[in-house]
């Protein structure tokens, strides 16, 4: 007996199809906790080719169609179930305000796992813009709107097909953000919708760009001495504070720039482990390249006195629509 069981999830409804090539029957049922419909259809005498098109109504205005050309003597249909993304390791290291290092450590762990690398393309995305003022919603830093100078997330994108029976069309890319109020991981579609809900209506100075970098490139070339987090004991530290913003209403005004006194040497306490310097960065004698090579989205804002062509950057810079397309490519 050669049987194939296909299972497809539509929101709360499940379509289960059973193909029995020896008995020449096709079973199809739709369920939502309770059985709604079940049908069995005789097929033409085999061996032969046949075309099936079954329409099953689960609820009013809900119609599910299964349409496939089959060969009674062909091998079982390939497994088309989308891969399930890995959960965040329970022992993951997290340090507030050091998102680039949190993601570096997570990418290191994912790149070390063969089961992840075989299914997923691991990438890192820096979110910023020319003025280093990007508006994000649903962050744990505070309710409502937060304006970061930059933010960093990890992405898992299904690998492209290595054969004609499998591809990543329709499979979701997943986002890992240690500072989001959304589930981690969540699909890229959900992350974009809830983190950038009114992106097109924002002033240009608050719109986000995305530098997408393959994880191996990031792990090898990234270096940070954490100097960007140093504060001056005698100067005020400027931060963006969207005070009093309503978490449930994204249509808020831009936050005002306020001043806060910070007595600590670091604006936020650094991680307890040594500063990160990737192997290729170490070979080149690079001590820090966070802001120029990764955060910077254009040719302005270089802190060092150097020709801009001498600053090596990594990955590709995309606007929101380009990033959305990349996630679903």
List the 174-176 sheet strands across, edge first: 186-187, 174-176, 151-158, 120-128, 209-214, 316-318
Name the DSSP class of 242. -
DSSP H helical segments within 113-183, as ranges?
114-117
Check 17, 28, 70, 99 and give the catalytic one.
99
Quick check: 96 and 139 in contact, CB under 8 A? no
Check 28, 177, 179, 186 and give the catalytic one.
177
DSSP H helical segments within 25-148, as ranges?
99-111, 114-117
Check 151, 179, 199, 327 and give the catalytic one.
151
Is 73 a catalytic site residue? no
Cα diameter, the chain: 88
Is 177 a catalytic site residue? yes
Give dist(CA 194, CA 136) in Å, integer: 9
Is 17 a catalytic site residue? no
* 323 Cα distance to chain centroid: 10
Quick check: 59 and 36 in contact, CB under 8 A? yes
Catalytic residues: 99, 151, 177
């Amino acid at each position: 007996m050669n049987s194939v069981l296909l299972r497809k999830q539509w929101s709360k409804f499940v379509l289960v199809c059973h193909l029995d090539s020896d008995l020449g029957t096709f079973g199809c049922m739709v369920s939502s906790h309770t059985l709604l419909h079940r049908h069995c259809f005789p097929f033409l005498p085999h061996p032969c080719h046949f075309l099936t098109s079954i329409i099953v109504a689960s609820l009013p205005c809900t119609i599910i169609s299964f349409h496939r050309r089959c060969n009674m003597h062909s091998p079982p249909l390939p497994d088309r179930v989308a891969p399930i993304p890995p959960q965040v390791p329970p022992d993951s290291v997290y340090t507030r305000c050091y998102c680039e290092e949190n993601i570096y450590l997570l990418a290191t762990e994912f790149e070390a796992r063969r089961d992840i690398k075989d299914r997923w393309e691991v990438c890192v995305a820096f979110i910023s813009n020319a003025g280093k003022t990007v508006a994000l919603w649903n962050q744990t830093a505070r309710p409502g709107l937060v304006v970061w100078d930059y933010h960093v997330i990890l992405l898992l994108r299904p690998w492209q097909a290595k054969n004609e029976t499998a591809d990543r069309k329709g499979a979701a890319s997943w986002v890992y953000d240690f500072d989001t109020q959304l589930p981690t991981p969540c699909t890229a579609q959900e992350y974009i919708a809830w983190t950038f809900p009114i992106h097109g209506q924002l002033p240009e100075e608050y719109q986000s760009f995305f530098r997408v970098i393959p994880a191996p490139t990031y792990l090898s070339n990234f270096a940070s001495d954490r100097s960007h987090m140093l504060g001056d004991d005698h100067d005020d530290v400027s931060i963006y504070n969207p005070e009093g913003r309503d978490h449930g209403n994204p249509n808020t005004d831009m936050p005002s720039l306020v001043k806060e006194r910070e007595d600590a040497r670091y604006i936020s306490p650094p991680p307890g482990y040594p500063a990160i310097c990737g192997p290729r960065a170490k070979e080149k004698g690079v001590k820090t390249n966070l802001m120029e090579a990764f955060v910077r989205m254009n040719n302005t804002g270089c802190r060092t006195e150097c020709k801009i062509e001498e600053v090596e950057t990594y990955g590709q810079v995309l606007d929101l629509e380009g990033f959305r397309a990349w996630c679903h490519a």
